[in-house]
Structures are given as C-alpha cells and as structure tokens.
Structure 1
Amino acid sequence: MNKIKIAAALLLAGCIGSAPASAAPVFSDLNTVTPEDLVNSLLSGGSGITINSVSYTGANEASGLFSNGNSSNVGINQGLVLSSGILGNMASDFSDDNGAAGNPLLEAYNGNRPTFNASTLTIDFTPQGNQITFSYVFGSREYPDYVNDDYNDAFALLVNGENRALIPGTDTAVSINTVNCGDENGDDPTNCNLFRDNRNGNISDLDLGGFTQIFNVIAAVNPGVVNTLTLVIGDTQDDILDSVVFLSGGSLAVCGGPDQPPCQPGPSPVSEPGMLGIAGMALLAMGGLRRSCRRR
C-alpha cells in the first residue's frame, strides 16, 4: 500500500510547552561500531555472563549504540538500539525502507503477517546462573494511527527459542496492537497503563507516537553451557513507519542466585516531563508539533 503525508510540522522557535529541546540522543550505527560493541554495552559489571559469539543481520544504519536518551524521555539513557528504519532519521521522519529483508521469526507474534526491514542480533552466551535479566523500551511511529490495524510491528526477544518480550504477567507478545492507548481517536486501548502516549509530541521530541514503560525481562537459562539470545524487530505489512527497541546498557546479568543481584520483575514506570505551559498545551492539542502520516 502507499502512504501520503497529509500534515506539515508547525515550526515555532522557542515554543512554550514543547518537548525538551536539549541535545537529542546520540546514535552510533553499525557503520562505526561492531555487533560485539552492542553486546558489550549490555553487560553489567560482574554480569556473570561470558559472550561466546555475536552475529547481526539487517541494515547497518538501523542499529547501534545510543546515549543521552533521557534528553528525549526514552526512559533509558544509554545502551543498544535496534530498529526497522534509519537511526539518524528518528528525530525527524522515522519512515524509511532501509533495504533489509524481513524475518519469519517475527511473524508468529504479529498475526502471521509479512515482515520487512528486520534487524536481528543473535548472541551465544554462557551464564553462571540459572536466570538472566535485562531491560528495554519499545516504541514506534505506527502509534497511534495504526493501532488495531494490520501494521502490527513487533519485537521478539528469544531466549533459547522462547519469546520473552511479553506484556508483563502474560504470554502476550509486545507489539503495536498489544500495548497502546488506543487508535487516533483513543478508541479500544490495550494495556494503556504500560504505555506512554506521544501522539501530540508532549512526551518526546523523537518522531515516535509512543513508548512502552521500561519492561524488565527475567528468563530461565541453562547455567554453565552455551545459551542463545535472539533480538529481532521489524516492520509489518509494509516497509514504512518504523519501530525501535532501546535496551538498557549494563542491565544484562545473571540474577536471583547466591551472591547475585535480585531479579526485578514487572515494568518500571518512567517519570514524564512536568505540565506543559498553557500556550504549548493548546498547540499540542491542535497537533501542531507532530507529523501525521496516513496510508491509503
């Protein structure tokens, strides 16, 4: 299907109440860093994890490292980032065909729809304990216009083949249609308490319609032998309106055992910016600070 942009951004210098205008997140994609650098950024000090091998499939421009995430209220300040677009465009027009193929691994979690522009990071590792933990935030340009539609971009986090990118306390995979605050009219929200709505640009200056809260993963592993962790994200149904996952640097570690840190279950809420000024709120209500994108 084709898509036509039907609204322009309102540009007002010094607009009261806009999202923070401090330095945006800094991205270093896989043209300048290596897949090994990505994985090393995840490991905590004394993680209890040995990395055996790392491989990446996807566009180099789609994935890498990020820092200064707090400037745009990502919820995670630094770490590893995988996307279905081009990282350098996330602050302006996050809607690109980056040329990468899809990944059938995702299709089990998006209603068996075709996928495009997938980024896949595969890590073979040996843990010293029987559980691992780490944290991530999922976000997308698909929000909110294509909530409950076919464009159900998804993220999977497979530990020894089992998806652990789940809505906390359920067996439901994280995707556009499973965590949101409703469509463009606010209708039919799902797990809205786990979502941070950015449809009016009042949470973040990134070109994303929303983010999840910080989700903390706890997964069983086999201690002392090689295990496999596969991270994969992609577009669904077409190759535009991109999605992203931010993984917290230093959060990957064994947990819950003797002399190991405790496992932290459940989502971690993110503190949002303070109340917007009256003028800024009025502008945001008119949708003046965000692009709107439609398919037909």
Structure 2
Amino acid sequence: MFRCGIIGLSLFSSLSCLAQISVDTSYTAESLVRQVFVGGKTVLRTISYRGSYQSIGLLETEYPGFPLEKGIILSTGKAKNTIGPNSSPNRSTAFYKEGDEHLDKLSGRTTYDATVLEFTFLPEHNTIAFDYIFASDEYPEYVGKGFNDVFAFILTDISTQKEQNLAIVPNTQLPVHIDNINARRNAEWFIDNTDRRTAPWHDILEYDGMTKLLTAQARVVPGRYYRIKLAIADVDDAMLDSSVMLKEKSFRSFDQPLQAEADLKDSTSAIPHSIILFDWDSSELTEEARRQLQTFAKQVLTYSPRAIRVIGHTDALGTSNYNEKLARKRVQAVVNYLASLGLRGKVSLYRQSKGEDEPVASNTEESGRSQNRRVEVWVEN
C-alpha cells in the first residue's frame, strides 16, 4: 500500500511537471506584437515598450483545458513568477520603476512598476477585439480593501484624441480589477485558484485568483489610425504581483453589422473619413488625393453632417515652426478642393494644424515619414 502510494505520487508529479506553463522573457516587444499577438492583415506602425525586461514575455502551456495556450504576458513583477504551482499567497517583485499617468488617473492613486506595451495600427474593418486573462495575488485578501493593482487597455483615436478603456467587465462599464470581479461580485467571470482540491489551474499558475477568458472590443473607423496602450502597474506600493495574459493571434479586425438604422449616424464605422497623404515638403494635392476627396465629398453630401474637421500633419524633418505652417497649407489645400466639389455653404469646415506633434509612424525611416505627411478629414456629428 505504501509502495503504491509512492508510485501514484510519482506519476502525479510527473504529469504535473509535463503540463507546466513556460515563460520566455528573451523576446522583443516588436516580435511579440507582430508574431504572437496580432492576427490577420492589420497594418502596424510604431511599437514601443516601457518596463522591466523581466515583466514581459512569451507564455505557453499545453495544460488540458487552459483557455490560453500561447500569448503575451505583462506583469507588475517577474513574468516567470506566473509559473505554478500556487505555493505562495503573496508573491511579490519590486523593481522600483515608475508608474503610468493613465493608470494613476484610473486608480486615483500613485502607481509603480508599470509595464506598458503600445502600438499604432490601421484597422481594415469597423471593429477590433482581443482576448485576455487577468490574474493577481491580491486575491482574495485585498478584495474591497482599496489595494488594487490596476491595468487598462487604452484605445486612442489619433484623429480625435478620444480615449476609451477596453478592459471592462462584460455588459458593464466597470474597469476590470479585483473589486469588480471576485467570488461575490461578477462571480461568473472569476476563478478562485487558492484551493488545490477545487482550483482547476492551481498546479500551473502561481496566482490566487484570476478572471476567465475575457474579450476587449471597440468600434473603430476603418482606415483611421489608432493607438492601443496595454498597461499594468502596482498601486500604492510595489507589493503583490498581477499579470495580464493576451491570447495569441486574438488581436483582430472584423466587420460587425449595425443593429438598427438609428445606429447609422452614431456608429463611427458609418462616418465618412479620409486620410490624404502628401509628398515631402509639399502642400499640392496628388491625383490620388483628389480621387479620395471626390469619394469623400459624395459620401458627405448624402450623410448631411454637422461639420467636417480637417487636421494637418507633417513628418519631423525641418523645424517645428516650419512644419506647423506646412501642415496649415496642406489643410487649406484640402479645404479649397472640398469647397470646389460642392461642399461650400453646405457644411462647416474646421481647420486644425498639428505639425509634427502627432506622428502615426516612426520618423526615422522614409516609410514612416510618408505616413506622417497627411491630412485627416473626418465628419463631426
């Protein structure tokens, strides 16, 4: 009987070892975004990362039933500390690095050890989405105590600078954190990982609690540049690690039909828009630009908007003062041409010059600079 118990225990241990999660922190942010996270034909521009090199990595597991076989992990501590079994109720790593202003504002407190992954993209369709899991060692002791590690997925429309946090509890506007998803509140999205007898992922994950696989989703304007900021940080101190796991190839763009005719004007996917590119140091409209504006004008005449906003940009070559004036000339060229297409007197045209201040791609290479030499034209409801 004793010998069988030893054999059984050895077999169980071997199976557990074969099913462990692995975390590799040797990958660059560029390769993780391009090769692991983003699926389909989404056009990517600038990709950046801020935080400890130990806090971001490639996560993989072959554990049966685990909802995320491969993806990116972003942690407030060492990403490799994610690897189970869950043997510590208070796993902590302190890098003593800076926090993040978005997360400070969201939490209402000071953040530390921020891990921030950002990239600019150009969606092909009217909706973007991706799948993720949030896990934390702040469960369950600090639920309701105000000591919440904070994370957010901040989507920014570069044209309007409008921001929204996509990390929200399903069917609510509540941000995802331990106070909003736990054993008592929105429990249908919570997994308790403390009890080995009942916790499904106790043997592979260190964290005491986690969400089920959630989906972040937003409506976007196809062909308009957006920036997504994926950020997580400790709040008030650098104690008790938390992580966000982003599912492989789950960042996607797709078309989602409008539910009713009334949604047509409210949805950004139905709003006419255009991005007009210019040659270097030029404010002359190309033939392609004229064709784009002709199409835009036809759409506007059937849409009957309140106003059109025209925003000019440049690359970073030259002085900021010169670039601001050049952007203004580009705006005027677009406004004049739209007026000649029949919009004069039918809709208000608002002009704005941003110069070199809001690039959508890197200015270190011509391919990026060519995307920054642009005028964005969009309808204001």
- TM-score scaled by length of structure 1: 0.73
Query: Which residue of 2 is the match for residue 43 of structure 1?
Result: 38
| Separation of aligned partners in 1, 2:246 and 2:116 | 14
Query: Which residue of 1 is the match for residue 76 of structure 2?
Result: 84
Query: Which residue of 1 is the match for residue 19 of structure 2?
Result: 23
Cα pair 2:50 2:117 within 8 Å, conserved: yes
Cα pair 1:198 1:211 within 8 Å, conserved: yes
The 5-angstrom pairing of residues 54-203 of structure 1 reads: 54-68=47-61, 70-71=62-63, 74-91=66-83, 94-110=91-107, 112-160=108-156, 161-181=163-183, 189-201=184-196, 202-203=199-200
Name the SS for the 2:18 alignment partner. Answer: coil
Query: Which residue of 2 is the match for residue 275 of structure 1?
Result: none
Per-residue deviation, 1:108: 3.1
| Separation of aligned partners in 2, 1:74 and 1:173 | 24
1:208 aligns with 2:207: yes
| Separation of aligned partners in 2, 1:191 and 1:108 | 24
Cα pair 1:150 1:237 within 8 Å, conserved: no
| Separation of aligned partners in 2, 1:213 and 1:23 | 19
Query: Which residue of 1 is the match for residue 277 of structure 2?
Result: none
Letter in 1 for 2:179: N
Query: Which residue of 2 is the match for residue 248 of structure 1?
Result: 247
Unaligned stretches of 5+ residues in structure 1 = 1-11, 182-188, 259-296
| Separation of aligned partners in 1, 2:9 and 2:140 | 26
Per-residue deviation, 1:74: 5.0
Letter in 2 for 1:102: G
Equivalent of 2:28, from 22, 25, 34? 34
Question: Which structure exhibits the higher relative contact order, with contacts defined as CA atoms closer than 8 Å and separated by 6 or more residues?
Answer: 1
Aligned residues: 234
Unaligned stretches of 5+ residues in structure 2 = 1-7, 157-162, 258-381
Per-residue deviation, 1:22: 2.9
Cα pair 1:116 1:239 within 8 Å, conserved: yes
Cα pair 1:115 1:237 within 8 Å, conserved: yes
| Separation of aligned partners in 1, 2:65 and 2:76 | 20
After superposition, what is the alpha-carbon deviation per residue over 1:202-243, rounded to whole angstroms, capped at 9, x for unaligned?
322221011101111221122112210000011112101100
Identity level (%): 30
Name the SS for the 1:108 alignment partner. Answer: helix
Letter in 1 for 2:44: I
| Separation of aligned partners in 1, 2:194 and 2:142 | 12
Query: Which residue of 2 is the match for residue 229 of structure 1?
Result: 228
- TM-score scaled by length of structure 2: 0.57
After superposition, what is the alpha-carbon deviation per residue over 1:20-79, rounded to whole angstroms, capped at 9, x for unaligned?
4433211111xx2111111121122xx2311111000111100111111x5286521101
1:197/1:20 CA distance change after superposition, 3 Å: farther
Letter in 1 for 2:81: N
Structure number with bigger Rg: 2
Letter in 2 for 1:193: E
Letter in 2 for 1:60: Y
Query: Which residue of 1 is the match for residue 3 of structure 2?
Result: none
